[in-house]
Structure formats: C-alpha cells, structure tokens
Structure 1
Amino acid sequence: MRILVVTDAWEPQVNGVVRTLSRTVDECRAMGHEVEVIHPGLGFRTIPLPTYPDIKLALGARSDLEARFKAFEPEAIHIATEGTLGHVARRICMDWKLPFSTSYHTQFPEYVNARFPFIPLSAGYAFMRRFHNAGNRMMVATPTMRDELAKRGFNNITAWTRGVDTELFHPGKRHMDGESVYAGLEGPVFAYIGRVAVEKNIESFLKTDLPGTKVVVGPGPQLEELKRKYPDVVFPGGKSGVELARYFADADVMVFPSFTDTFGLVILEAMACGTPVAAYVAPGPKDIIPGSGAGAVNDDLRTACLEALTMDRARCREYAEGFSWRNCAEEFVRNLKPQPRPERKRFWRRLRRLRKRG
C-alpha cells in the first residue's frame, strides 16, 4: 500500500512523537509498504514554534503539498500532527474528499495552558476536536486517552499502541565497562529522562523528598531555569543512542512526573533497560505500569518512587519485551482508512488528466 504521512514533527527533533513515527515508518517499509513522509525539513519556509524553537512550522505549503499528493497518489493518508502542515493536509483531504486518519500524540490543550494559563483548556479542546473529528479515524495510545477524549466529544477513536527498541535499550548497558554514568553520586539515583519543559511537571519530582541523588537528563526550554533553582540536582544535558541507554540502565529508578503525556515512550525504554519507573496516576502511566511488576504509580510521587526502588529489574525487562515496533506498525496499518480501490483509481486518473490539460 502507498501510505502518505504528514507530520510537523520529524528528525532531527528528538521526542517521543518523532521516535514513534520514524520507527513506524521504518517497520511499514520493511513490511513492503511504500511510505512517503511530508515534514518541515523538505525545503519549506519555516518559523520556530513559540516557546519550542526546535519545532519548525512550515508556511505557504499548500501548492507544494498538492503537488506531492498528486505525484505520490497515496492509497492511505495519515496526518500525525496538528501544526501548519497538518492543517494544510487536512484542508486538501477535505476539499478533494479523500479519507484520512489522524493521531493524538500530545495533550495539546494542557501543553498550551501550562505555558499560557490565560488560554482555557476548553479553547484548546475545541481546536483539537475541530481538527481530528474531520478525519475518518483518530488513533490514541491508551484506553485511558480513548475514554477521556470520547467524553470530550472526539469521534472515531481507536487504539494504537507503542513499541520499544529492546536491542538499544537493554540491561547489558548497565555499568558498561565496569562503571556507571552516575559514578560518584550518592545512591540511590532517581532520574528523570526526557524533554525539560514546564508541561512535564519536573519540578514536582525535584521538590519530592527522596534519598540519594536526583538527576535530570535531557534538553529543553526549562533547563536553565531548573539549574538555577535546584543546584543540588545533577543536569547532564541531552543524550542519545548508546549513551542515552546507559543513563536509563544505570539509574535505580526512572521518575516520570508528567500529567500531560498520552503514553510516555521513555517508560518502556527505562523498563527495557531493567529500570523500574515511578509515576503519578495519570494517562499513560496508569495504562502501562499497574500490575506490571516493573514500576509503581501513586498520587504521592514519593511513595511511588520508594516502591519502585524495590522492584525486580529482571521483571522490568521481561515486561518491556512484550512491546515491539512491528506490532505497533501492524496496528497502525490496520487503523488506516484507505480510499476504496475503484474510487481511488478514478480520482487519481481524473487528476492526471487535469494536470495534462494544465
């Protein structure tokens, strides 16, 4: 099948959305599908997203997207994000009466409200409902998100789980070369690993009374502020590849304090390294962690952290092995809404004729 994916989030950005999309695309191609990804790095004129300069918003992209649609003639169209490219693609699909699916990766209303409290959640959800309800199917990561969004008036919701690279994120990365990346720090080590941004609720972790040392691993717009406010916390900065896997593996507990993530890919990455996870009872963690034996959730983060500290690391790894990117990609393909074959042939044939006349 020819699958067209439109996304405002793509490499070289480093976040859970990009990892999910890039691994899904790789697996789809390995399964024999032809996938084209339209993203801001294809030469569009862009501006940085306010408060998130790493994310680029493409401007004036309508004619370019139309040309790419016509050249590729997709059988299925997936719009992954609600940015400028996502909106243009949505408009084209609606104007041309093409079926398309979307995915709900981030709790955008909560993100906006965390940065701009004067913008109510209701406004954010109205924006998101308008975007996603125009599609034929919206993919969400967990049952909790499905239920919450259904209550808020979202339609055609279906599950799309996530995977983890169990080769990169592996217990064998723990104490590689006989030394921990946290060498010299008082144990136990409680580590937050991910983007350092206000919506991640990192300060809740940093204010929690815990033994040992707190570490915050990752880049982000709130990094310098937290460095100034919490001089006793260790901030190694952003990491990637094997080095990132070592920071997961060498931690005693990975702490995930966010209330705004729809899944939390780092939860699986930590578990795959054998590191238990502590989190609040929130969307994502409460779907992944309870009953796993690989972490703890609690309304009191300190209680969750201390409970996670007692978890069996081998059980963490065993649980994470149940999540694969191939399963993730297969579910993604099942959730797509391809145009019926006869209609599809007639539609693209008609467009080709119009192009020749033009």
Structure 2
Amino acid sequence: MKVLIVTDAWEPQVNGVVRTLKQTRLELQKAGHEVEVVSPLEFRTIPCPTYPEIHLSLFPGRKLRERIDAFAPDAIHIATEGPLGLAARKYCKRKGLPFTTAYHSRFPEYVQLRFGIPLSWTYRFLAGFHNDACAVMAPTRVVVSDLEARGFKNVVMWSRGVDLEIFKPGARDRLQTRRPIFVYVGRVAVEKNVEAFLELDLPGSKWVCGDGPAAASLKAKYGTEQGVSWLGVLNQQELAQVYNAADVFVFPSKTDTFGLVLLEAMGCGCPVAAYPVTGPIDVIGTDGPGALRDDLRQACLDALKIDRAEVRRFAERYSWAAASRQFLSHLHPFTDSAQAELQLAMQGSAGE
C-alpha cells in the first residue's frame, strides 16, 4: 500500500515527533509498504517565532497538491497542525478523501506557557482541525480520554516503541562526574520544565543533553559551580552511552503526551524520576521502573534504589513494530483494493 505522511515536524529537528515518524516509516517499509514523507524540507520556509529551529512552510498549497497527485497514495496521514497539515487537510476535504491525523504534543499547554493564550481557545482550534479526520491517533489512553472530553471525535490510541538494540545496557563510563549522576535528555524549553530539575538540591552531579530556546539562559544560571554539566544534541548511540552512565533519568515535564526518552532510558536500564502526570504515569505506572512523586527531589532519591535489570525488563514490553502495526490499522485507504490489502496485512500481523 502507498502511504503518504504529511508533517511540519521533520529534520533537522530532533524530538519525539520526528523520531516517531521516522521509525514508523521504517517499520512500514520493512513490511513492504511504500511510504513517502512530505516535510518542510521541500518548501520555502521561515523560522517559527520563539522557536527558530522549527521551519514553517510558506504557501505550500500548490506544490503540496502536485506532490500528492504525483505519488497517488492509497492513504494519507496528516501528522501535524502546521501550514503543511492545514494544506493537506484542505486538499483531502476538497477531493472528498478520507484521512487520519495525530495528536503528538500538548500544544495548547505550550501556547499558554509562552503567550498566555487560554487553553480553551487553542483546543477549540485543534478540535476543528482534527474532527474531519476518520481517526485521530493519540499516544496513551489518558490522552484519548482528555481529547474526547475536549470535544475531539474518532480518537484512537497509537502507542510508541523503542529500539532495544540501540538502547540497551552497556558501559557506564561516558559521564565522568561525581555520583550519583542525574540526567535530563530532551528539548531545553519552558514547556519541558527543565529548571525544576536544575534547581533541585541533589547529591552528586547533574547533566543536561539537548538544546532549545531556553538553553542559553539556563546555562548561564546553572553551570559547573552548581554541579551541572551540559551536552548538546546527541545521536542515538551517544544517547545510549549517556543513559547507561546515568544513575537516574530525570523527566521534569508536566505537559508531554508520552515521552520517548522515558523508553530510551529504561531500555538502557536507567530508572526514571518524574512527576505523576500524563506521559510518565501512562508509560511507567505507579511503581516498578521509575519513581513518580509530586516531590521531584524525593523521586530522584527513590529512583536510585530501583534495580536496573528490572527497568530493562519493563522496557522490553515496547517495540516499534507493534506501534507501527497499530498505526497501520487506523489508516483509511481510498479504494476497495487498498482496503482489502490493508485487511490482509493486519490479518497477517495478527498471527505473528
């Protein structure tokens, strides 16, 4: 089957949305499907205000229509609500074509943090965007329920996975600072609540891996004198080394819908400390491979006591292959022949 994914989030961005889409494309291709991604790399763009690493496509309508017509997909998935997503939605509605969408991030909460715009305004816009879709894919059951309560229709669950061949237990010598070592990996931005981690009074040392709009100000405030070391954006192999070296992975965000980095850390056997909120509580639960507390400092200290072998065993429950089969099952092909092909594919995977 020919699947077209339209996304405003793509390389060179390094985040959970891009990682999810790239892994999903890879798994679908492994299964024999033809997948193309339409991203801002093909269009003239401008930097997103307050977030210059995000590129917004300028007037993509005509070129996007040509791309879709040339590929002639059997199914279209619209991954984001930006200029490309809006243009793809408009194309599908004009042609009377079914399509699916995804809800990756708590965008209304981000907008409220940055600009003070009421949550209800942004959720109203997003519900209007997504409610024409045949399926709106959300990463956890809690997010599914939250969206339904906000007036979203046809919400289904599309979980996530982790590459357990890359993120696995290994040498613990990458970070040469005082133990215990507490690590944050991810975007350094206000919505990630990184400063809540940096200001904690913890034994040992802290590391931050990643970049973002808040990085410069936080680096100036929290440096080696405060026991904080900084790394930039790392590739997956380097990240695995960092997770293995860490004693605890600290996830201070209160606005993530899932948090792929949680699975990456746990794949390496690194226990997690986080708040008991959507994302961590959906992935980890109330005990086991992590410590979820309203007191983040106590969560960090409690996580030190968790057995790393137990954490790895928990991570082995997740796979990108299973997540991608779930994604495939939610697609809505245009033709009877493509629908029949999809049904056969799902029947075959059910027997695996």
Q: Give the TM-score of the pair, scaled to structure 1.
A: 0.91
Counterpart residue number, 1:109: 108
Question: How far has the Cα of 1:308 moved from its partner?
Answer: 1.1
Mapped to 1, the partners of 2:287 and 2:307 lie a distance apart of: 11
Mapped to 1, the partners of 2:310 and 2:49 lie a distance apart of: 42
Question: How far has the Cα of 1:181 moved from its partner?
Answer: 2.1
Residue 57 (1) aligns with residue 49 (2): no
CA contact (8 A) 2:257 2:278 kept: yes
Question: How far has the Cα of 1:69 moved from its partner?
Answer: 1.6
Counterpart residue number, 2:193: 201
Question: How far has the Cα of 1:209 moved from its partner?
Answer: 2.2
Give the direction of change, closer, same or farther, for the CA distance of 1:343–1:254 in structure 2 (3 Å limit): closer
Mapped to 1, the partners of 2:7 and 2:120 lie a distance apart of: 24
Give the direction of change, closer, same or farther, for the CA distance of 1:335–1:342 in structure 2 (3 Å limit): closer
Counterpart residue number, 1:97: 96
CA contact (8 A) 2:286 2:292 kept: no
CA contact (8 A) 1:78 1:336 kept: yes
Counterpart residue number, 1:28: 28
Identity rate, percent: 53
Counterpart residue number, 1:354: none
Mapped to 2, the partners of 1:303 and 1:130 lie a distance apart of: 41
Mapped to 2, the partners of 1:240 and 1:3 lie a distance apart of: 27
Residue 229 (1) aligns with residue 228 (2): no
- The letter of the residue matching 1:32 is G
Stretches of structure 2 that go unaligned for 5 or more consecutive residues are 340-352
* 3-state SS of paired residue (1:93): helix
Q: Give the TM-score of the pair, scaled to structure 2.
A: 0.93
Mapped to 1, the partners of 2:125 and 2:40 lie a distance apart of: 22
Q: Which deviates more from structure 2 when the two are superposed, residues 57-66 or residues 286-295?
A: 286-295
Counterpart residue number, 2:344: none
- The letter of the residue matching 1:209 is D
Residue 282 (1) aligns with residue 277 (2): yes
CA contact (8 A) 1:101 1:138 kept: yes
CA contact (8 A) 2:74 2:338 kept: no
Mapped to 1, the partners of 2:54 and 2:336 lie a distance apart of: 36
Cα root mean square deviation, aligned: 1.4
Mapped to 1, the partners of 2:338 and 2:12 lie a distance apart of: 37
CA contact (8 A) 1:290 1:296 kept: no
CA contact (8 A) 2:187 2:211 kept: yes
Counterpart residue number, 1:191: 183
Q: Which deviates more from structure 2 when the two are superposed, residues 227-236 or residues 325-334?
A: 227-236
Mapped to 1, the partners of 2:304 and 2:79 lie a distance apart of: 36
CA contact (8 A) 2:25 2:35 kept: yes
CA contact (8 A) 1:9 1:17 kept: yes
Counterpart residue number, 1:353: none
Post-superposition CA distance 1:114-163 (Å, at most 9, x none): 1112x111111111111111211100000111111111111100000101
Counterpart residue number, 1:238: 233
Equivalent residue runs for 1:267-306 within 5 Å: 267-291=262-286, 293-306=288-301
* 3-state SS of paired residue (2:277): coil
Counterpart residue number, 1:181: 174
Mapped to 2, the partners of 1:22 and 1:339 lie a distance apart of: 23
Question: How far has the Cα of 1:342 moved from its partner?
Answer: 7.3
Size of the alignment, in residue pairs? 336
Mapped to 2, the partners of 1:199 and 1:241 lie a distance apart of: 23
Counterpart residue number, 2:13: 13
Mapped to 1, the partners of 2:140 and 2:294 lie a distance apart of: 19
Mapped to 1, the partners of 2:246 and 2:258 lie a distance apart of: 21
* 3-state SS of paired residue (1:4): strand
Question: How far has the Cα of 1:210 moved from its partner?
Answer: 1.6
Residue 249 (1) aligns with residue 248 (2): no
Equivalent residue runs for 1:303-322 within 5 Å: 303-322=298-317
